[in-house]
Structure 1
Amino acid sequence: MPVFVMRKPLDLTKPAVTVRIIEIEEAHAGQRIDNFLLRECKGVPKSHIYKAIRDGQVRVNKGRISNDYRLELGDLVRIPPMRLPEQKPEQWVPPTVFPVVFEDDAIVVINKPAGVAVHGGSGVSFGVIEQMRAARPHERMLELAHRLDRDTSGLLIIAKKRSALLALHDMFRLITARKFYVALVQGDWVNDRQHIRLPLLRWLTAEGERRVRVDEEGKLAHTIINLQRRYGHYSLLQAELKTGRTHQIRVHLAHSGFPIVGDDKYGDDQVRAQFVRLGFKRMFLHAERLEFPHPISGEWLVLQAPLPLECQQILDVLEQK
């Protein structure tokens, strides 16, 4: 009589762990294999993915590759079995339509409102990019080309093609694109035009909050300031970014003695409270203009986003004082 051995029952809560072969489409052509795998194998520790590449378990067109290999259209990627953690239920993201300033088949440029993060993370469940993906399920790819602070409004570029994303990253790194912001600051700005060149260093507070300060050990940062108009004890400035450091405009202005109105990290708390009483409850920093060559055609684009209504209204209030 045959003997049957009872095995441990399968855990059906775990995803299947089988070899997968994926053909690379246009949306992922040009992407590094490690970044592709990190997104394709969500939840798998980075160390496991890099070990699978080193050991030759991950292959492209049946050959071994290094972790910096860039995928090409039509590549066949072998992904070995990887044990995934138990999947958490996906959080619902409200599909949101943001004002579009420019769009074609390669990029879409929106006018982001203040108070909305550009992506989820650091205590934020979702941001602009997740909301746009939810609103545009037909789009094969939507990726941030750059970032804006949560409390900053204005122009934000999103790539719809991998080739456009890579070209935009190169553009911002080589400072081919020109980015102009409008800021209302506390104080009477003196010079019509001024260059601020101060190195910036990122650090974490005791609570784990990200901050930036002027520090000789930091990275080079360059901002050009143009005076637009004076409003008594306040000044309206245009800031052109020549580098793209975190919180660059905010820290450069605050360090110079002219903090941005409404800035809860580097600004004046009493001034912020005064403006809240006037009905202004945000930071007055707006990404007003972008000038850059189209990442595919090379055509020079000049895009603008007018001041939000709440910003214009507070300027009207200051003008009457």
Structure 2
Amino acid sequence: MPVLSMRKPESLQTMNMVVQTLQIGAEQAGQRIDNFLLKTCKGVPKSHIYKAIRSGQVRVNKGRCQAEYRLLEGDAVRVPPFRMADPNARPPAPAASFPVVYEDDALLVIDKPAGVAVHGGSGVSFGVIEQLRAARPAAKFLELAHRLDRETSGLLIIAKKRVALVALHEMMREGKGRKRYLALVEGDWQNDRQHLRQPLLKWLTASGERRVKVDALGKPAHTIINLMHRYGGRFSLVEAELKTGRTHQIRVHLAASGYPIVGDDKYGHDEVRARFSRHGFNRMFLHAWKLDIPHPVGGEILKLEAALPPACQALLKELEQMS
């Protein structure tokens, strides 16, 4: 953790703000200065932070810096007197534990349940990462290496060292490793193996909700679909392998192909979701199933797997009996 050296100019005391000098330790080294400040100054708008960097209010070792500057161990960062969020405005996250699939001194891989956000924000007070930090107060570093949608269950990677986080991000940018999901879709999927390559574009609804659609102006996206099982010509279990990591990629690719995921409240059919809900299935059937990646520090190949949750297994058994 950074060592704080604070001084309170009299003109700032009445506003409950301080100038801070933060000493960068080994766990903070390697971060961009803008990302470091966004994390450190929670509640401060991004625009305020970038304005402070551009205007020279943020300084590293008493000199001006650019937003792209990567911190070094021992750097002294001057943080100007931002108006911080009230720490009492949001209740602290309750500590929680999650099923551990793999753990060592660099990595933690859990089996995330459906219905739990990975982090707070967008109307969610806290998520998996905040609850893990509350449950592990002695941990010096816990950061999400990637994201899962709130209603998606399965394998979620948390880095316990910055060197592991940086390596994981680099691996994901380069497309190393294999990330495979199981999804139950509407319809009778025909091909044993199919490549979906539609470009995906983010957009906002009139209410400000984030969505994604297939659009020629979007970013390249590639999903490989393998047929696992058919259920009476009405539903199909498929494996989806991500070759890129776009927001809602599997969900949008499948829906755009005419096979929306059962229970998907953004891209699926409301009547299908309501019918499954009446039978006790109240989630989206998308599960991060298998993950094969090189260890970000040691380099050995990790082969990780999280079994389908009991509710999903029970649904498949029921569909098999019906078909």
- TM-score, normalised via structure 1 length: 0.91
User: Offset at 1:92?
Assistant: 2.5
User: What do the CA deviations read for 1:113-144 (whole angstroms, capped 9, x no partner)?
Assistant: 00011111111111111111111111111111
Greater shift in the superposed pair: 84-93 or 31-40? 84-93
Task: Please name the residue that 2:318 is paired with.
Answer: 317
Contact 2:12 2:18 in 1 (8 A): no
Task: Please name the residue that 2:190 is paired with.
Answer: 190
Contact 1:29 1:73 in 2 (8 A): yes
Task: Please name the residue that 1:278 is paired with.
Answer: 279
SS in structure 2 opposite 1:27? coil
AA aligned to 1:288 is: W
Identity %: 67
Greater shift in the superposed pair: 190-199 or 54-63? 54-63
Distance in 1 between residues matched to 2:73 and 2:45, nearest whole Å:
27
Task: Please name the residue that 2:98 is paired with.
Answer: 98
Task: Please name the residue that 2:128 is paired with.
Answer: 128
- Equivalent residues in 2 for 1:167-246 (5 A)? 167-232=167-232, 233-246=234-247
Distance in 2 between residues matched to 1:70 and 1:211, nearest whole Å:
32
Distance in 1 between residues matched to 2:51 and 2:211, nearest whole Å:
34
- Equivalent residues in 2 for 1:23-42 (5 A)? 23-42=23-42
Larger radius of gyration: 1
Change (3 A) 1:85 1:153: closer
Task: Please name the residue that 2:3 is paired with.
Answer: none
AA aligned to 1:169 is: H
User: What do the CA deviations read for 1:234-269 (whole angstroms, capped 9, x no partner)?
Assistant: 111000001111111111111111111111111122
Contact 1:29 1:163 in 2 (8 A): no
Contact 2:289 2:308 in 1 (8 A): yes
Contact 1:14 1:85 in 2 (8 A): no
Greater shift in the superposed pair: 44-53 or 188-197? 44-53
User: Offset at 1:12?
Assistant: 6.7
Instruction: Say whether 1:153 aligns with 2:148.
Output: no
AA aligned to 1:152 is: T
Task: Please name the residue that 2:143 is paired with.
Answer: 143
- Contiguous gaps of at least 5 residues in structure 2: 1-9
Contact 2:199 2:216 in 1 (8 A): yes
Contact 1:144 1:158 in 2 (8 A): yes
User: Offset at 1:86?
Assistant: 5.3
Greater shift in the superposed pair: 60-69 or 111-120? 60-69
Task: Please name the residue that 2:162 is paired with.
Answer: 162
Change (3 A) 1:217 1:292: same
Change (3 A) 1:45 1:275: closer
Contact 1:13 1:86 in 2 (8 A): no
Distance in 1 between residues matched to 2:249 and 2:142, nearest whole Å:
26
Change (3 A) 1:256 1:146: same
User: What do the CA deviations read for 1:34-67 (whole angstroms, capped 9, x no partner)?
Assistant: 2212222334444443344344443323333222
AA aligned to 1:245 is: R
Task: Please name the residue that 1:268 is paired with.
Answer: 269
Contact 2:42 2:85 in 1 (8 A): no
Please tell me the root mean square deviation across aligned C-alpha atoms, in Å.
2.0
SS in structure 2 opposite 1:63? coil
SS in structure 2 opposite 1:64? coil
User: What do the CA deviations read for 1:272-297 (whole angstroms, capped 9, x no partner)?
Assistant: 22212222111110000011111111
Change (3 A) 1:73 1:319: same
User: Offset at 1:107?
Assistant: 1.3
Instruction: Say whether 1:78 aligns with 2:78.
Output: yes
Contact 1:34 1:68 in 2 (8 A): yes
- Contiguous gaps of at least 5 residues in structure 1: 1-8
SS in structure 1 opposite 2:49? helix
